[in-house]
């Protein structure tokens, strides 16, 4: 949020400067272009300097085409991850169903990390580079899925996903 506000403030300052130099037509052009690029093109970015609490583990049993998954979840330090666990597990499974490259890579023993945010009761992907583990597909598949949160302020989340044990009783 701070980065978006800074971009808008900078765009406004640039617009005032251009207006003084070139006149009203240039100001309209600069403001129109800057209004279109408010940092949302690629979605929110990871917040710099976020500290995370201790990770908690989630085990998802194999179901259909999705193998058993071991998930470590760390959320913004000082926040309670417990309310988010159920909605995270549901979102991980739904995302994995739609990302066959992820399923193949995890089945082959790969591990991946995904950064998310929970805002306004929904998960928001924080962007991910395409890789052989299908991280970008997984991150994007989280977008808009319901997120239970301990409080209404945004929650930053890091997930580490790897192949889980086939026996969910462990």
Band (pLDDT 50/70/90 cuts) for residue 74 is: very high
The pTM of this model reads 0.68
User: Is the model more confident about 108 or about 23?
Assistant: 108
Domain ranges of the chain: 2-36, 56-163
Looking at residue 129, what is its pLDDT? Answer: 75
Question: pLDDT digits over 37-59, tens only?
Answer: 333 344 445 556 789 999 999 99
Express each pLDDT in 76-109 by its tens digit.
999 999 999 999 999 999 999 999 999 999 999 9
Is pLDDT at 20 greater than 80 in this prediction?
no
Mean pLDDT of 101-124: 94
pLDDT(68) > 90: yes
What's the confidence (pLDDT) of residue 50?
A: 83
155 Cβ contact list (under 8 Å, min separation 6): 75, 76, 79, 84, 117, 118, 119, 147, 149
DSSP state of 120: T
The set of long-range contacts for 99-103, using a CB threshold of 8 Å and a minimum separation of 24, is 99/134, 99/137, 99/138, 99/141, 100/65, 100/134, 101/132, 101/133, 101/134, 101/137, 102/133, 102/134, 102/135, 102/137, 102/138, 103/65, 103/66, 103/67, 103/134
């Amino acid at each position: 949020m701070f980065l978006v506000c800074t971009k808008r403030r900078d765009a406004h300052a640039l617009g005032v400067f251009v207006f003084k130099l070139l006149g009203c037509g240039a100001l309209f052009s600069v403001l129109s272009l800057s209004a279109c690029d408010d940092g949302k093109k690629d979605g929110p970015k990871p917040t710099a300097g976020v500290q995370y609490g201790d990770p908690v583990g989630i085990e998802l049993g194999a179901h259909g085409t999705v193998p058993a998954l071991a998930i470590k979840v760390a959320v913004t330090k000082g926040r309670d991850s417990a309310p988010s666990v159920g909605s995270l597990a549901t979102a991980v499974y739904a995302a994995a169903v739609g990302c066959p490259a992820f399923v193949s890579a995890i089945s082959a023993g790969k591990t991946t990390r995904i950064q998310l945010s929970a805002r306004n009761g929904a998960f928001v992907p924080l962007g991910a580079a395409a890789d052989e583990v299908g991280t970008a597909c997984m991150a994007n598949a989280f977008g808009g899925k319901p997120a239970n949160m301990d409080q209404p302020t945004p929650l930053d989340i890091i997930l580490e996903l790897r192949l889980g044990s086939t026996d969910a009783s462990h």
